[in-house]
Chains A and B, each alone.
Chain A
Amino acid sequence: MKTKQRLLVITVLLTLFICTVMIVENTRSTQKAEETLVYWGMYGDKVFEIQQKLKQWGYYDGPIDGYYGAATFDAVKKFQAKNGLLVDGTVGNQTAAAMGISLGTSSSGGGTAPPSRGGSRGEGDVYLLAKAVHGEARGEPYLGKVAVAAVILNRVADPRFPDTIAGVIYQPGAFTAVSDGQINLTPDEESLRAARDALNGWDPTYGAVYYYNPAKATSAWIWSRPVHLVIGRHHFAT
């Protein structure tokens, strides 16, 4: 009897604990924002930028040397006091915003995904295409990955589909990897290579615009499309 009661208490407490964690997580995740700081003792481009701005507005009269020293510290405090910000002599996101500069992530400009340039097929397109390939054809043979990327590019060139890579990939309901979020996984090296091969003009399907997995496809319509080739679990069709 005693053990049963104790078990009950433990279960109830556990439930309580889990519920609390869930609520806390819920509220926290909405507020989470990373803050980058520029403060006393730092060197770099950002300090340069801050000094330039402050000098321009007359808060700072020291040298623009990219070193955050006492003079810069005082100037930042003056700027903060004038602009009704928290006076702490440290440049955080709010102070930076008031100065009209962005702190970004780091001055070295890391990050794996380069931005897409409109029109031309830059590295951003390779990355987006690789993400789609990774989400859709992980575990398929290499040739199947190139083929999936080629299908996306064939759709871009087809009047029945949107006319950009992003438009095709994010067309509602077009790809399961987009619907279930698998597209957001980081693509592996093989997917990137496959995407690049397809962008360079290799198309193992010679013009297919559909593919499906016969074990999963339930639409009668898709079965009526002429199949061009079969790679791994995917049937490629026009």
Chain B
Amino acid sequence: MRRWVIPGLLLLALIITGAWGYNQYMQNQDYTTRTNNLYQKSFYELVGRVGNIESGLSKLMVTGDQGQTIVMLSDVWRQADSAGSHLGQLPLRHMALDNTSKFLSQLSDYCRYLTIKAGEGKPLTVDEMNNLKELYNSCINLSNELRILESDVNTGTVSWQKIVDYGNKQLAEGTQDIVTRQFTKIEENSIEYPTLIYDGPFSETLLKPKKLNITGDDIDYEKAEGIAIDFIGRDRVERVGSGAETMGSIETWGVTIETNDGEGPFHVSVSKKGGKVVSVISEGVPKKATMSYKEAEKRAKDFLEKRGYRNMVPTYGQHNDGVAVINFAYKDGDVIIYPDLIKVKVSLGTGNFMGFEALNYLTAHKDRDLKEPKLSLEEARKLVNRNLEITSERLAVIPSKGGNEIQCYEFKGKFGNDNFIIYINADTGKEENILKILNTDNGTMVI
């Protein structure tokens, strides 16, 4: 009797383990199917959207009506935007996708720009028509290649799960799956597009890396160290060491400074050319806030003046967890220059300076020859929506989406309980931008 006990128990254990294993297997199958379905959906959406873009662009070639042009352009813009986000959900390595993704982003952005332009009643120029034609040709190629892939996906030869596994194992180059291979082919052969230069965030001119607009001699590390110490304040400095050095389009020396007040260490980045402090980041844990935001703003302005940045005015700012970040813009005579932006971080506990960021200022600042605006303030004011109860007005230079500078009249005002800023082009009278001001517990934000 007793000798059956152990085999019996073992058998039972085997059965239970088997049942458990089967259960796990089924669950695994279930999850795999679900993720596979999501990838499948993204892929089909992508193919569908690219098809829509193709037909939209082809219709654009032949329409003669301004209203239709706007509708079609905005449709292509919307479809390209969506295609891009579906592409981003496919489990492929980035190298296989980056050109396709860039193509869709630029197409979407370019069509958005043209929609806005057409909305102002301006017809498309010959150059713009040619650009669209080239984009259309690239789109046909992309669409064809995707259809080849679609038939593989349809016949079930593509397993997204395998592609994910390939990606995770990072197999040697050459052992690519069919989808990656196809996308790599698209990247290499199919997409040729015009160099799009226009006023939008993905314009080729803006995709070039930023460069510092600083003149002066190259400095060595020792000199950078001295500049960093002076910037933080000699009396606060306790220990100095070298930090992260940056290369590429913006070359800086890194200096790490420990201070005697426990608010560091500070990482100071000093430009190799001209020896300007580009940014300062502090690791210090902020202390409990004891002073008001207004007081911090005053200290930040003092700090900037002592470091040689005069004519800077605070624009807006935020405070969180014991620190305030205050944005300053350069003031050229009576005109606020928003592209010349500097951010200063101040501890609300001690009032000490805790951070600095001047990349925008150092890349954008130059001697501007501001022209007398063609519109007077009164003329511009008439162009503002009557619903806005204007509370202040001034001249300002704002950056456009494509990185150009536009001189505008800035009208701050109220509509109901909401605050807005409206920018009217000082030459053409065009409404360039509307910002909504959010007054939160943590300061003012514009969206």
Contact = CB atoms under 8 A, between A and B. Distances in A.
Q: Do A and B come from one complex?
A: yes
Interface of A: 5, 8-9, 12-13, 15-16, 19-20, 22-23, 26, 119-120, 141-143, 146, 157, 159-164, 167, 171-174, 179, 189, 193, 196-197, 200-207, 218-221, 226-231, 238
Interface stretch (B164-172, B220-228, B367-375): B164-172
A9 B91 contact: no
B164 A159 contact: no
B379 interface: no
Interface in B6-64: 6, 9-10, 12-13, 16-17, 19-20, 23, 27, 39
Contact of A142 (B283, B320, B445): B283
Contacts of B17: 15, 19
Contacts of A228: 246-248
A158 B285 CA distance: 32
Chain B at the A interface: SS class: mixed
Contacts of A189: 285
B246 to A, nearest CB: 4
Nearest to A205: B246
A177 B202 CA distance: 29
B377 to A, nearest CB: 31
A173 B321 contact: no
B20 A22 contact: yes
Interface string B261-280: 00000010100000000110
B85 A162 contact: yes
Interface of B: 5-6, 9-10, 12-13, 16-17, 19-20, 23, 27, 39, 81, 84-85, 88-95, 97-99, 101-102, 105-106, 109, 164, 167-168, 170, 173, 201-202, 207, 209-210, 243-250, 252, 254, 267, 269, 278-279, 281, 283, 285, 318, 320-321, 325, 343, 345, 355, 357, 359-360, 438, 445, 447
Contacts of B278: 206
Contacts of B283: 141-143
Contacts of B246: 204-206, 228-229
A120 B20 contact: no
A200 B13 contact: no
Q: Return the 4 tightest CB-CB contacts between A and B, nearest first.
A: A159-B105, A172-B91, A162-B88, A160-B98
Contacts, number: 153
Given A12-B10, A171-B88, A172-B91, A206 B5 contact: no
A148 B245 CA distance: 16
A119 B278 CA distance: 29
9 contacts: A19-B16, A120-B447, A143-B283, A159-B105, A159-B109, A173-B94, A201-B343, A206-B248, A229-B246
Contact of A206 (B167, B249, B325): B249
Given A23-B16, A143-B267, A207-B249, A230 B244 contact: yes
Given A23-B23, A146-B281, A204-B269, A157 B201 contact: yes
A115 B267 CA distance: 33
Contacts of A219: 93, 170
Contact of B16 (A16, A26, A119): A16
Contact of B250 (A20, A206, A220, A221): A206
Given A207-B248, A219-B93, 16 more contacts: A15-B13, A141-B283, A157-B201, A161-B88, A161-B101, A171-B89, A171-B94, A172-B89, A173-B167, A179-B168, A200-B325, A206-B210, A228-B247, A229-B244, A229-B254, A231-B244
A16 B9 contact: yes
A204 B13 contact: no
Contacts of A200: 318, 325, 343, 345, 357
A120 B102 contact: no
Q: Which of A160, A161, A201, A205 has the most CB of B within 10 A?
A: A160
A20 B13 CA distance: 9
Nearest to B248: A228
Contacts of A163: 81, 84-85, 105
B359 A203 contact: yes
A221 to B, nearest CB: 5
